[in-house]
Structure 1
Amino acid sequence: MDLSSFPPISATLDAAYALLMGLASLLQPITGDASAAIAIVLLTVMVRAILIPTGVAQARADQTRARVAPKLQMLQRRYKNDRERLQRETMKLYTDEGASPFAGCLPVLIQAPVVGIVYMLFLNVTIAGHPNDLLAEQLFGVSLGTSLAGAVGSGTLSWAAAAVFGAVILWIVVIAEITRRVLRPLPGPAVPPQARERVLGLVGLLQFGTAVAAVFVPLAAALYLLVTASWTLAQRLLLRRRFPHPW
């Protein structure tokens, strides 16, 4: 079954299509052929601006979880042989401290449908029964509907496409490395050193997942990933100063 033909999804895609085409039309006199790409950048900025409250809530939750980490470690030692009691006491601790172990998932869950919509917009020849003119839009001569993996697989990768995708992916990798070095997560003061290093190493690798995804999605979605990664880094740096961890 084609998910894009499902009425709610089709209506959402059509609304997103109209928004992007409207922004591209407004930008056309200024940005020329790059108008659709700039429209995607603006869409990303709008989405991330809307998500600022969730980012603040996440930073506060991270600060709270860091503060309660010693208490959590004490519970784990006390009830290590009673998993059911440990689960109850852990949830009670989070409730008493006004924290949630799942707070960090909210921004990701909200953004996932947006990335999916951008992906589908540049994957379908038709949107809600009409031609998808976005597929004709380009950035530096590269179709916004082209993916790096697809171009390599079909043998149609041009020098222009290689340069554009290379620049996008390289910048995402740079952002991931800055994030890994500057915003290293702290598992907790009571975590054994060896376990802590394993956790930090795994999280460090996960930072580069966005770069891997950018290889397989259309250029339009890769641009969305690039801008949202840049915004996320800047926002986390600011919020880390505003809500520092106690250790």
Structure 2
Amino acid sequence: MNPYEFGPIAAVLDAAYGVVMSLSSLLTPVAGTASAAVAVVLVTLIVRALLIPVGVSQVKAANARKRIAPQLAALQKKHGKDRETLQRKTLELYQREKVSPTAGCLPMLLQIPVVSTIYGLFIITTVNGHPNALLAEHLFGMPLGKSFASLARTGSLDLPSIVMAVVIVVVIAVVAQLSRKLLAEPLPGTPGGPPAAAPTPGVPDLSGMMKTLSFLPFMTAIVALFVPLAAALYLVVTTVWTFAERSILKHMLPPAPSASTGAVPASA
């Protein structure tokens, strides 16, 4: 069963569809045949603006992890051979610093329904039982419902479409590289990062997931070639927004000093 045909999901998708098409109609006198594409960009910006609190929460979570990283490394060095003591001391550190071991995971999960709704709007042919007219709209002659890969397979990838593909992939890749250089904190076990620590019982080990997520923007550049053009526009806009948002929040929300001034209790 297509999940987008499920009643509540179809209703949400239909509401999103109505917003995009209404914006497209309002923008037609100004944007002409590109009005639907501009509407997609505007909806993306609106959604990302609504998710600013989520971005703030993620930055605070990253700052919290950075703040207690030296203390965690010290605990690993001191109690690495005593798993029970290490677990107890680590949990005490999280409680003392008021940091959750899974901080930052919930905000990422909150974005999934929003992203799924936007993406679904760009890939299904019918919305709540009626045709998805958005997929028939064009940008520089390329349908918003077609992907660069599908056009290449049919031999209908013209010069404007090739230029758009190159621009979208380059923008996403460049922004991804800037994000890794300017925003990403060195991961444990990597050059410039803290030493890799053994997993602590009772505390989720998110290092593998974080390493995978750090490459996600580069994967997004490739994905943009295989999704409908409307979805590719969403990907490039949200990638640039994320970089700009994190750059600003990183300066507005610097890591707070440790509640225990970085010292690890000497008692066992």
Q: Which residue of 2 aligns with 1:111?
A: 111
The secondary structure found in structure 2 opposite 1:238 is: helix
Alpha-carbon distance in structure 2 between the residues aligned to 1:65 and 1:171: 30
Q: Which residue of 2 aligns with 1:196?
A: none
Q: Percent identity?
A: 47
Q: Which residue of 1 aligns with 2:242?
A: 232
Q: Any gaps of 5 or more consecutive residues in structure 1? A: 194-198
Under a length normalisation based on structure 1, what TM-score does the superposition of the two structures give?
Answer: 0.86
The offset of 1:230, in angstroms, is 0.9
Q: Which residue of 1 aligns with 2:94?
A: 94
**Are positions 1:8 and 2:8 aligned together?**
yes
Query: In the TM superposition, what are the counterparts of 1:59-208 in structure 2 within 5 Å?
Result: 59-83=59-83, 86-187=86-187, 191-192=194-195, 205-208=215-218
Alpha-carbon distance in structure 2 between the residues aligned to 1:69 and 1:93: 11
Alpha-carbon distance in structure 2 between the residues aligned to 1:122 and 1:205: 24
Whether the 8 Å contact between 1:180 and 1:204 is mirrored in structure 2 is yes
Q: Note closer, same or farther for the CA distance 1:88–1:19 as it changes in structure 2 (3 Å cut).
A: farther
Q: Note closer, same or farther for the CA distance 1:74–1:103 as it changes in structure 2 (3 Å cut).
A: same
Alpha-carbon distance in structure 1 between the residues aligned to 2:32 and 2:82: 65
Q: Note closer, same or farther for the CA distance 1:145–1:178 as it changes in structure 2 (3 Å cut).
A: same
Q: Any gaps of 5 or more consecutive residues in structure 2? A: 197-207, 258-268
Residues 27-52 of structure 1, C-alpha deviations (whole Å, 9 max, x = no match):
11111111111111111111111111
Alpha-carbon distance in structure 1 between the residues aligned to 2:55 and 2:170: 25
Letter in 2 for 1:27: L
Q: Which residue of 2 aligns with 1:242?
A: 252
- Of residues 219, 228, 233, the one that matches 1:209 is 219
Alpha-carbon distance in structure 1 between the residues aligned to 2:212 and 2:9: 35
Alpha-carbon distance in structure 2 between the residues aligned to 1:42 and 1:7: 26
Q: Which residue of 2 aligns with 1:218?
A: 228
The offset of 1:96, in angstroms, is 2.4
Alpha-carbon distance in structure 2 between the residues aligned to 1:83 and 1:218: 50
Letter in 1 for 2:134: L
The offset of 1:216, in angstroms, is 1.8
Whether the 8 Å contact between 1:40 and 1:223 is mirrored in structure 2 is yes
The secondary structure found in structure 2 opposite 1:215 is: coil
Whether the 8 Å contact between 2:172 and 2:217 is mirrored in structure 1 is no
Whether the 8 Å contact between 2:185 and 2:193 is mirrored in structure 1 is no
* More helix as a share of residues: 1
The offset of 1:97, in angstroms, is 1.3
Whether the 8 Å contact between 2:40 and 2:233 is mirrored in structure 1 is yes
Residues 83-125 of structure 1, C-alpha deviations (whole Å, 9 max, x = no match):
4554454344223212233333344323333332222222222
The offset of 1:157, in angstroms, is 2.1
Alpha-carbon distance in structure 1 between the residues aligned to 2:229 and 2:87: 44
Q: Which residue of 2 aligns with 1:29?
A: 29
Alpha-carbon distance in structure 1 between the residues aligned to 2:12 and 2:86: 43
- The size of the alignment, in residue pairs, is 243
Q: Which residue of 2 aligns with 1:54?
A: 54
The offset of 1:82, in angstroms, is 4.5
Residues 167-187 of structure 1, C-alpha deviations (whole Å, 9 max, x = no match):
111111111121122223133
The offset of 1:21, in angstroms, is 0.6
